[in-house]
Amino acid sequence: MKNDYSHYLNTQENFRQKWHEYFECPANFSSDHYVEQLAPLFGTDDFFKLTEAQRNQLNLEYIKLVAEALIFFEQLLVLGAWKIINKRTYLEAHTKRALQHFAYEELYHSHGFRHFLFIHENMHWNKNKIYADSKILRFIISKIVILAPGCVFLPGAKLEAFTLSYHKMIKKYYLNQRSNSWIHLNHIHQLDEAHHVPLEFELHNEIVKNEGVLKTFFGCIFFVLTMQLALGIGAFKVVKYALPEKNLFTRIRLMMKMARWAVRLTPAYNEAREMTRKQFIAKKPIYGNLFKFVYW
């Protein structure tokens, strides 16, 4: 049966209210909310060599990395969606409406994460940014998305799965979903993303046929490779901002450990890969075998 996306659109019509409530709340995330188990490098030898203050700073910078990575990625999803909505004539009305709604929600999300970074002075976002000032990286990846906009959907599903598993990981320690502004933000974000993960597979199926599989495949490869570069840049900046007293050699060593911790050791990322793998099995995306590298 043809997909009309009504399952998604009908349940998401009222998403604005929870975001407006969030924008009204005061800044409420400080070192009081530090949780050792959630801090970068936890469980490694390097973590135990750091002072409490250094761990706390590293944690704040990692939260900034997560927030900025989500903003960066959501902007790319919006770019890909708008490119398809405005430049392609093959879209059916219901697909166009689902894409517009999806892009609109992502705009709210990135606004929400920007709001978090902006109102918390302890984030020092006015002077220390992770991706917001990386012009070359933004240029490279936006060119890829403009040339092959269909490439955003499957990597998008994995990043969105990450938002679900990241929320699951932090809510173990922040039992009250409104106890601080970080858990509040992640809670309302994942409510939308739970709908987006399956939606991305449906959009992929509908769009890849028209965009061309090879273009989408190569776009996806370059997209994922650029994301690895972004991970390295992000990990380096986290270490540089949190531990300015360390020399370059130590920063590079910690950057590699930090990047490995973020994508191989945290339960959130491992679960996101597993969730994406299961969605591949359940949703059977078109040319799915070609795109499996997305969840490696």
Map the chain to HEC letters. Answer: CCCCCHHHHHHHCCCHHHHHHHHHCCCCCCHHHCCHHHCCCCCCHHHHHCCHHHHHHHHHHHHHHHHHHHHHHHHHHHHHHHHHHHHCCCCCHHHHHHHHHHHHHHHHHHHHHHHHHHHCHHHCCCCCCCCCCCHHHHHHHHHHHHHCHHHHHHHHHHHHHHHHHHHHHHHCCCCCCCCCHHHHHHHHHHHHHHHHHHHHHHHHHHHHHHHCHHHHHHHHHHHHHHHHHHHHHHHHHHHHHHCCCCCHHHHHHHHHHHHHHHHHHCHHHHHHHHHHHHHHHHHCCCCCCCCHHHHC
> Which range touches Fe ion (CB under 5 A), out of 1-9, 24-32, 114-122, 158-166?
158-166
Q: What is the distance between the alpha carbons of residues 119 and 295, in angstroms, rounded to a whole number?
A: 34
Segment interacting with Fe ion (CB under 5 A) among 48-56, 129-137, 196-204, 287-295 = 196-204
Cβ distance to Fe ion smaller for residue 83 or 109: 109
Choosing from 160, 202, 206, 211, the residue that interacts with Fe ion (CB under 5 A) is: 160
- Contact pattern for Fe ion over residues 107 through 146, marking x by CB under 5 A: --x-------------------------------------
Q: Is position 101 an interface residue for Fe ion (rule: CB under 5 A)? A: no
Residue 196 binds Fe ion (CB under 5 A): yes
- Smallest distance from Fe ion to CB 46, Å: 31
Q: Footprint of Fe ion on residues 223-262 (CB under 5 A)?
A: none
The reply to whether 83 sits near Fe ion by the rule CB under 5 A is no
Single out the segment in contact with Fe ion by CB under 5 A; choices: 44-52, 70-78, 79-87, 240-248.
Answer: 70-78
Q: Shortest approach of Fe ion to residue 115 CB, angstroms? A: 14
Q: Measured from the CB of residue 250, what is the shortest distance to Fe ion in angstroms? A: 34
Instruction: Work out how close the CB of 245 gets to Fe ion at its nearest, in angstroms, rounded to a whole number.
Output: 35
**Residue whose tokens read 């892009």:** 103
Q: Closest distance between Fe ion and the C-beta of residue 110, in Å?
A: 7
Residue 102 or 261: which CB sits closer to Fe ion? 102
Q: Which range touches Fe ion (CB under 5 A), out of 69-77, 119-127, 139-147, 235-243?
A: 69-77
Buried (b) or exposed (e) across 234-250, using 16+ Cβ within 10 A? bbbbbbbbbbeeeeeee
Residue with smaller CB distance to Fe ion, 15 or 34: 15
Q: How many residues bind Fe ion (CB under 5 A)?
A: 5
Q: With CA atoms as reference, report the closest residue to 150 among 221, 93, 198.
A: 221
Residue closer to Fe ion, measured from CB, 68 or 74: 74
Q: Which stretch binds Fe ion (CB under 5 A): 71-79, 117-125, 131-139, 279-287?
A: 71-79
For residue 35, count other CB atoms closer than 10 A to its CB.
12
Min dist. Cβ of residue 102 to Fe ion (A):
7
Residues that bind Fe ion (CB under 5 A): 74, 109, 160, 193, 196
